[in-house]
């Protein structure tokens, strides 16, 4: 394939489907309505037991912005230790200053704590005030990889910026494109940007098994009896389209 595929997952079933469909790696998180937060220890452990492909764990204590207080940073440190102990292959994180600069010092501390695991600086980068400066700052943290849409709503829209980031980073940092990537546009994004890795969120809404469905809703009414899963066939179609010659 022209690029490695990482699939974002929120369940063991989705991780298994991603592996069977041909993904090289999964990013495990919870609560995608908040953009993703740290998954539980049980979810990490169970996923690790079921898949052999790369397992990267999101370390993000809450939704919202990426400017964290001391207690939140302490929680992130504890979660990095937990993920390491439970067999993760990598950590996904990002910390910003209030003015939109990358918090190099605090991020570096988390990166060093994560070693020998690989570290991805996530799309907090896309919220940074100055992308060229932010790239240099991410490199200074010691992170191995940057996930970005090029500061745009999707990787398709930000392809030009992603290509510039790939060129500027060179061998110092792997730039992974993410944001709105599907089987239909994956190959074109690789060709336009030069990235060697793609990140895709391929979950689809499916009906849950509950037969009894009271009118009461404990969460969003349109999600009360639905689940979001990655399908093996969706991943396989993605991989096949990405690797096809035409």
pLDDT at 70: 97
Tally of structural domains, the chain:
1
Is 48 a domain residue? Answer: yes
Question: Which is higher by pLDDT, 193 or 207?
Answer: 193
Is 223 a domain residue? Answer: no
**3-state SS assignment for residue 4:** strand
Q: Residue 160's domain is classified under what CATH number? A: 3.20.20.380
pLDDT over 70 (residue 1): no
Is 105 a domain residue? Answer: yes
pLDDT at 243: 84
* Tens-digit pLDDT profile for residues 34-50: 889 999 999 999 999 99
pLDDT over 70 (residue 77): yes
Task: Give the DSSP per-residue string, the chain.
Answer: --SEEEEEESSHHHHHHHHHHT-SEEEE-B-GGGT-BPPPHHHHHHHHHH--SEEEEE--SSSS-S---HHHHHHHHHHHHHHHHTT-SEEEE--B-TTS-B-HHHHHHHHHHHTTSEEEE-GGGGG-S-HHHHHHHHHHHT-SEEEE-TTSSSTTTTHHHHHHHHHHHGGGSEEEEESS--HHHHHHHHHHH--SEEEE---EEEE-S-----S--SS-GGGTTEEEE--HHHHHHHHHHHH---
**Tokens 């932010």 belong to residue:** 134
| % the chain with pLDDT above 90 | 85
pLDDT at 227: 83
Q: What is the mean pLDDT of the chain?
A: 94
Whole-structure pTM value: 0.93
pLDDT at 86: 98
pLDDT at 156: 96
Is 227 a domain residue? Answer: no
pLDDT at 245: 58
* Tens-digit pLDDT profile for residues 88-138: 999 999 999 999 999 999 999 999 999 999 999 999 999 999 999 999 999
pLDDT at 140: 98
Containing domain of residue 72, as a range?
Answer: 4-209+232-243
pLDDT over 90 (residue 226): no
Is 30 a domain residue? Answer: yes
Is 221 a domain residue? Answer: no
Is 167 a domain residue? Answer: yes
Is 226 a domain residue? Answer: no
**Tokens 């290509």 belong to residue:** 163
């Amino acid at each position: 394939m022209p690029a490695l595929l990482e699939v974002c997952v929120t369940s063991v079933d989705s991780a298994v489907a991603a592996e069977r469909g041909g993904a090289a790696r999964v990013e495990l998180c919870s609560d995608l309505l908040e953009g993703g937060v740290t998954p539980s220890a049980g979810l990490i452990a169970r996923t690790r037991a079921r898949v052999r492909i790369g397992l990267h764990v999101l370390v993000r204590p809450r939704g919202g912005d990426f400017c964290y207080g001391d207690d939140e940073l302490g929680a992130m440190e504890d979660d990095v230790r937990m993920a390491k102990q439970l067999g993760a292959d990598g950590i996904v994180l990002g910390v910003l200053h209030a003015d939109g600069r990358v918090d190099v010092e605090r991020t570096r501390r988390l990166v060093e704590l994560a070693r020998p695991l690989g570290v991805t600086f996530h799309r907090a980068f896309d919220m940074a005030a100055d992308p060229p400066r932010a790239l240099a700052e991410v490199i200074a943290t010691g992170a191995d990889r940057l996930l970005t849409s090029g500061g745009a709503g999707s990787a398709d829209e930000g392809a030009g910026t992603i290509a510039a980031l790939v060129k500027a980073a060179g061998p110092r940092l792997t730039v992974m494109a993410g944001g709105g990537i599907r089987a239909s546009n994956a190959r074109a994004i690789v060709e336009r940007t030069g990235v060697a890795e793609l990140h895709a969120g391929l979950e689809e809404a499916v009906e849950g098994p509950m037969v009894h469905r009271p009118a009461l809703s404990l969460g969003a009414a349109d999600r009360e009896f639905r689940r979001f899963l990655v399908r093996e066939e969706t991943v396989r179609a993605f991989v096949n389209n990405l690797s096809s010659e035409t």
